[in-house]
């Protein structure tokens, strides 16, 4: 029966296309013909179990619209009345179809499932149209709106492009599809679990910059208190918003809605509603201009395919070994009842980030150990010299570094590096190595200097510094030196704060656009603990060897 | 010089001072947790070989846990709506920083506490009392370490320094902002260590007085 109805609708449209330009060229005539054919079959077709959603809508006189409850400017409820762009669009569409809208509250998580379960005829609920959702529902094109991710920050900060964001921190929400783009531009992310926390974080200074859909920030930027202080810096990653109908049994309704959308774009209906509701209108203005071009109206009155925006590509490429990973996860699920989420093994971008993170972490640890040793010997040598001014200088540097919190030292060294070199991830890594080496090496160097002084006192030596004395001082302060080497290894994850692309930073980036935070952060914790254990083990082996050598000598 | 004067006249010093109170709160909380967790470890370490073997892996894990990673781990693992019997128990950012510092604090208390217990058993209460200045040292190390909270949006001292630095585009001006921050933390840190040295010296004098039979009255 459903197939018959679909064939019948297709036949109607084909006939309209063949009748000739005089009858079937405008969207209005196509829509009227489509609605007329359905009404002609009423009420006989109304009770047909396989009836298209359009038949049900026209028979019942009601269009059940899935809408959100609390999305400022788009869909809100005040005193029992619904307001906003989505609501007004739904009213206009229902009016065009000659029916009454019935509101069905939906949430982001239930938008598509409500359609699939037959709980609504259409969903108009701030829903981005992407390739992943294309398989789950039929999206109506032309799209009724388009948003973009926007960077918002204080007016006092000059941010115009990605270059200005380099190595800055941007607050965003977990799972935001735009995060992948943000982290790919070497911008650090601070993650929040809900968009509603971002404006407050901007106000109290916790965040200097925030990234979120422009439709979300529009309401806040319209407020005097917020809008006076903050502004939109720039936007990226445009997402077309689609109203959607069920994937099955709604072909007729989808065609009717496509025609209504086309008419509303061409005649400025969407634009008028948007202006009334105070939302951004650039997209709607461009669509109005587009669909006033006769080339964008196809033969049957529908929009020409070339004039339609494709669904956003939302599926990153999978890894080559994804089937094996999925098989393993299925096995763990069957065997243990649970399976960890391993986003770093699922998609190629996440896998690349993960491998780079591991490699960079190991480079960072090795570099920090080498730098700590080098600074320790250098500061130790300076501290053991007989010249008081030089010793005082070394003491001053050590005290300053001891007085500076680790994060602050890291930021200062990175700022200096940024002034000297063209900033890059490699420079961030290098700056972190220098900072960690300075902090730990200076402390160890101070211990060497003190050891040299104690040896002089014990042996009644003069102020001069000889290599045997220096060697003995290093040997005496070995415990301190090794403990600061371990400390340097433990401190390496801090480098993620200044944009060094080590494992913690990489996994934070991965979890910003993929699920599985618990497993991911467990992996990073275990990784660093193994690294520290290994460093401790190596240090103990070195100490044992030196002590054996000393005993043998 | 102009930058320095402008900064000193602005809200920056006051904001920094009030934000550093958060560093002290975090350090105090971390130390309290560290004492609670570390005391049983200290008792075990000061016990027999069996006890020492039993707690060695625990101490190894506590010593090897990098604070910064633990902080992110806790931040991402504890649900935001975490509750028991309807009572919301999701920790604040500052609490998460304190919890991330707890492994270090607990291992430190365990190590130093076991030394103190052994000293008491050997009839050397004065040496055991060195535990107190060591705890003071740990507290000030924790104050410095609590600056990691800036990475998860905790409004503590370093956060204020970094926010202020963003207002100054020139590196020279930024360095002045950083220098004031380092000075503020430095005063606290060095004062803490001076206090610790004084208390160690006092304990030394007390021990010497005890050894010579003087009462000090």
Q: Coil, helix or strand for A103?
A: strand
Question: Residue with structure tokens 């060095």?
Answer: B190
Reference A270, options A254, A253, A289, A252; nearest CA is A289
Which of A156, A201, A528 lies at the smallest CB-CB distance from B66?
A: A528
Which whole number is the average pLDDT over A286-307?
93
A344-375 pLDDT per residue, tens: 999 898 899 899 999 999 999 999 999 999 99
pLDDT greater than 70 at residue B172: yes
pLDDT greater than 50 at residue A324: yes
How much is the pLDDT for A108? 84
State which residue of chain A sits closest to B190, comparing Cα positions. A403
Reference B38, options B117, B141, B133, B148; nearest CA is B117
Using a pLDDT cut of 70, give the percent of chain B over it.
94
Q: What is d(CA A121, CA A533) in angstroms, rounded to the nearest whole number?
A: 59
How much is the pLDDT for B136? 85
Residue B206 pairs in a beta bridge with: none
Which whole number is the average pLDDT over A476-497?
90
Yes or no: say if A164 and A204 are a contact pair by the CB < 8 Å rule. no
Stretch among A163-167, A268-272, A347-351, B95-99 having the lowest mean pLDDT: A163-167
pLDDT band at A166 (very low <50, low <70, confident <90, very high): confident
H-only helix segments in A171-250: 179-184, 197-203, 214-221, 224-229
Q: Judging by DSSP bridges, how do beta strands A137-139 and A81-83 pair with one another?
A: unpaired
B209 Cα to chain A: minimum distance (Å)? 26
Could you tell me which residue, A196 or A277, shows the higher pLDDT?
A277
pLDDT greater than 60 at residue A29: yes
Q: Coil, helix or strand for A439?
A: helix
Which whole number is the average pLDDT over A30-59?
92
Q: What is d(CA A510, CA B17) in angstroms, rounded to the nearest whole number?
A: 36
A401-441 pLDDT per residue, tens: 988 999 999 999 988 998 888 777 888 899 999 999 999 99
Of the ranges A6-20, A24-38, A248-262, A534-548, which is most confident?
A248-262
Q: What is d(CA A262, CA A254) in angstroms, rounded to the nearest whole number?
A: 12
pLDDT greater than 60 at residue A552: no
Yes or no: say if B113 and B65 are a contact pair by the CB < 8 Å rule. no
Which of B76, B153, B158 lies at the smallest CB-CB distance from A517?
A: B76
pLDDT band at A516 (very low <50, low <70, confident <90, very high): confident
Residue A231 pairs in a beta bridge with: A153
Could you tell me which residue, A17 or A235, shows the higher pLDDT?
A235
Which whole number is the average pLDDT over A231-251?
93
Considering Cα of A146, then A183, then A175, then A70, what sign does the dihedral take?
negative
Q: What is d(CA B157, CA B138) in angstroms, rounded to the nearest whole number?
A: 19
Yes or no: say if B110 and B118 are a contact pair by the CB < 8 Å rule. no
As a whole number, the mean pLDDT across chain B is: 86
Q: Coil, helix or strand for A153?
A: strand
pLDDT band at A16 (very low <50, low <70, confident <90, very high): very low
Q: What is d(CA A374, CA A444) in angstroms, rounded to the nearest whole number?
A: 10
Yes or no: say if A269 and A92 are a contact pair by the CB < 8 Å rule. yes
Stretch among A174-178, A491-495, B11-15 having the lowest mean pLDDT: A174-178
pLDDT band at B82 (very low <50, low <70, confident <90, very high): confident
How much is the pLDDT for A7? 52
pLDDT greater than 70 at residue A530: yes
A105-146 pLDDT per residue, tens: 998 888 999 999 999 999 999 999 988 888 899 999 999 999
Which whole number is the average pLDDT over A186-194?
79
Residue A149: in which H helix or E strand, if any? strand A145-154
How much is the pLDDT for A213? 87
Reference B144, options B158, B131, B155; nearest CA is B158
Could you tell me which residue, A453 or A186, shows the higher pLDDT?
A453
Residues of A in contact with B162 (CB under 8 A): 411
State which residue of chain B sits closest to A507, comparing Cα positions. B72
Stretch among A227-231, A286-290, A338-342, A489-493 having the lowest mean pLDDT: A338-342
Instruction: Tell me whether residues A490 and B151 touch, CB distance under 8 A.
Output: no
pLDDT greater than 60 at residue A263: yes
How much is the pLDDT for A71? 86
CA distances from A25 to A11, A13, A14, A297 (A): 16, 11, 12, 8
pLDDT band at A11 (very low <50, low <70, confident <90, very high): low
How much is the pLDDT for B213? 44
Residues of A in contact with B155 (CB under 8 A): 204-206
Instruction: Tell me whether residues A205 and B65 touch, CB distance under 8 A.
Output: no
How much is the pLDDT for B209? 63
How much is the pLDDT for B211? 53
Which whole number is the average pLDDT over A191-220?
86
Q: Coil, helix or strand for A280?
A: coil
Q: Judging by DSSP bridges, how do beta strands A75-78 and A70-71 pair with one another?
A: antiparallel
Which of A493, A518, A533 lies at the smallest CB-CB distance from B69?
A: A493
CA distances from B195 to A105, A405, B191 (A): 63, 19, 6
Of the residues A167, A407, A505, A523, the best mutation for testing chain B's interface (the one with the most B CB atoms within 10 Å of its CB) is A407
Q: Coil, helix or strand for B83?
A: strand
Considering Cα of B82, then B88, then B92, then B97, what sign does the dihedral take?
negative
Which of A193, A412, A492 lies at the smallest CB-CB distance from B80?
A: A193
How much is the pLDDT for B214? 42
Using a pLDDT cut of 70, give the percent of chain A over it.
94
Residues of A in contact with B163 (CB under 8 A): 205, 208
Yes or no: say if A311 and A128 are a contact pair by the CB < 8 Å rule. no
pLDDT greater than 50 at residue A553: no
Using a pLDDT cut of 90, give the percent of chain A over it.
57
State which residue of chain B sits closest to A536, comparing Cα positions. B64
Which whole number is the average pLDDT over A225-245?
92
How much is the pLDDT for A8? 53
Yes or no: say if A185 and A209 are a contact pair by the CB < 8 Å rule. no
Tell me the two tokens of residue A183.
Answer: 């982290």
Instruction: Tell me whether residues A400 and B186 touch, CB distance under 8 A.
Output: yes
Q: Judging by DSSP bridges, how do beta strands A62-67 and A100-105 pair with one another?
A: parallel
Q: What is d(CA A364, CA A482) in angstroms, rounded to the nearest whole number?
A: 17
pLDDT greater than 70 at residue B142: yes
Considering Cα of A376, then A382, then A386, then A389, what sign does the dihedral take?
negative
How much is the pLDDT for B1? 62
How much is the pLDDT for A17? 47
How much is the pLDDT for A10? 52
Strands (E), A322-389: none
How much is the pLDDT for A386? 87
Q: What is d(CA A127, CA A137) in angstroms, rounded to the nearest whole number?
A: 11
Of the residues B10, B62, B72, the best mutation for testing chain A's interface (the one with the most A CB atoms within 10 Å of its CB) is B72
Yes or no: say if A442 and A459 are a contact pair by the CB < 8 Å rule. no
Q: What is the layout of strands, in order, in the sheet containing A244-246?
A: A100-105, A62-67, A122-123, A244-246, A137-139
How much is the pLDDT for B215? 38
pLDDT band at B216 (very low <50, low <70, confident <90, very high): very low
Of the residues B18, B68, B177, the best mutation for testing chain A's interface (the one with the most A CB atoms within 10 Å of its CB) is B68
How much is the pLDDT for A111? 92
Instruction: Tell me whether residues A491 and B68 touch, CB distance under 8 A.
Output: yes
Instruction: Tell me whether residues A404 and B161 touch, CB distance under 8 A.
Output: no
């Amino acid at each position: 029966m459903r197939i018959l109805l679909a064939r019948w609708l297709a036949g109607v449209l084909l006939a309209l296309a063949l009748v000739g330009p005089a009858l079937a060229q405008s969207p209005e005539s196509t829509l009227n013909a489509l609605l007329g054919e359905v009404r002609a079959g009423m009420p006989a077709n109304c009770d047909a179990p396989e009836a298209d959603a359009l038949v049900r809508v026209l028979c019942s006189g009601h269009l059940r619209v899935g809408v959100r409850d609390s999305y400022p400017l788009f869909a809100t409820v005040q005193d029992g009345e619904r307001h906003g762009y989505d609501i007004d669009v739904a009213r206009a569409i229902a009016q065009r179809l000659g029916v009454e809208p019935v509101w069905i509250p939906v949430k982001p998580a239930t938008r598509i499932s409500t359609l699939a379960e037959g709980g609504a005829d259409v969903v108009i609920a701030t829903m981005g149209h992407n390739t992943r959702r294309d398989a789950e529902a039929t999206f109506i094109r032309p799209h009724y709106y388009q948003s973009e991710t926007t960077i918002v920050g204080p007016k006092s900060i000059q941010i115009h492009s990605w270059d200005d964001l380099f190595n800055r921190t941007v607050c965003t929400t977990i799972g935001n599809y735009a995060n992948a783009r943000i982290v790919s531009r070497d911008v650090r992310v601070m993650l929040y679990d809900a968009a509603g926390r971002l404006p407050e974080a901007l106000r109290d200074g916790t965040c200097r910059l925030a990234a979120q859909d422009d439709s979300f920030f529009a309401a806040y930027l319209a407020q005097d208190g917020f809008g006076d202080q903050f502004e939109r810096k720039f936007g990226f990653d445009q997402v077309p918003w689609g109203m959607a109908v069920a994937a099955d049994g709604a072909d007729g309704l989808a065609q009717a809605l496509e025609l209504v959308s086309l008419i509303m774009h061409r005649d400025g209906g969407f634009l008028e509603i948007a202006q009334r509701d105070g939302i951004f209108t650039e997209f709607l203005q461009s669509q109005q201009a587009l669909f006033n071009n006769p080339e964008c109206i196809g033969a049957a009155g529908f929009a020409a395919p070339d004039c339609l925006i494709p669904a956003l590509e939302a599926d990153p490429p999978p890894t080559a070994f994804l089937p094996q990973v999925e098989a393993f996860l299925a096995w763990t699920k069957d065997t243990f009842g649970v399976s960890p989420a391993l986003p770093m093994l699922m998609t190629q971008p996440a896998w690349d980030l993960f491998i780079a993170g591991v490699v960079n972490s190991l480079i960072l640890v090795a570099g920090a150990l080498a730098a700590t040793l080098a600074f320790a010997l250098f500061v130790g040598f300076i501290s053991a010299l007989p010249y008081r001014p030089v010793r005082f200088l070394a003491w001053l540097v050590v005290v300053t570094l001891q007085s500076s919190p680790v994060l602050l030292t890291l930021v200062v060294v990175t700022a200096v590096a940024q002034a000297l070199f063209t900033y890059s991830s490699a420079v961030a890594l290098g700056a972190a190595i220098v900072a960690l080496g300075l902090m730990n090496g200076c402390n160890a160097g101070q211990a060497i200097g003190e050891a040299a002084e104690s040896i002089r006192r014990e042996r009644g030596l003069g102020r001069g510094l000889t290599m045997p004395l220096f060697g003995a001082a290093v040997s005496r302060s070995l415990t301190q030196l090794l403990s600061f080497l371990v400390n340097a290894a433990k401190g390496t994850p801090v480098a993620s704060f200044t944009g060094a692309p080590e494992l913690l930073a990489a996994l934070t980036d991965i979890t910003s656009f993929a699920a599985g935070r618990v497993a991911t952060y467990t992996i990073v914790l275990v990784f660093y603990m193994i690294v520290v254990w290994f460093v401790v083990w190596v240090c103990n082996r070195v100490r044992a060897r030196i002590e054996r050598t000393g005993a043998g000598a | 010089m102009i930058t320095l004067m402008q900064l000193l006249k602005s809200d920056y010093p006051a904001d920094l001072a009030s934000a550093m109170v958060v560093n002290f709160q975090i350090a105090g909380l971390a130390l309290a947790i560290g004492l609670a967790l570390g005391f049983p470890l200290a008792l075990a370490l000061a016990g027999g070989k069996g006890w020492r073997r039993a707690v060695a892996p625990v101490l190894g894990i506590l010593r090897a846990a990098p604070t910064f990673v633990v902080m992110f781990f806790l931040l991402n693992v504890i649900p935001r709506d975490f509750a028991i019997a309807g009572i919301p128990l999701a920790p604040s950012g500052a609490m998460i920083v304190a919890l991330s510092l707890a492994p270090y604090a607990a291992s430190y208390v365990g190590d130093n506490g076991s030394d103190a217990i052994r000293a008491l058993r050997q009839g050397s209460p004065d040496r055991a009392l060195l535990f107190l200045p060591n705890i003071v040292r740990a507290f000030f190390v924790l104050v410095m370490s609590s600056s990691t909270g800036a990475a998860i949006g905790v409004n503590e001292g370093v956060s204020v320094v970094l926010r202020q630095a963003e207002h100054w585009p020139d590196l020279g001006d930024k360095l002045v902002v950083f220098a004031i921050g380092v000075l503020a933390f430095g005063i606290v840190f060095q004062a803490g260590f001076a206090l610790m040295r004084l208390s160690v010296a006092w304990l030394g004098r007390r021990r010497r007085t005890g050894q010579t039979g003087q009462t000090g009255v």
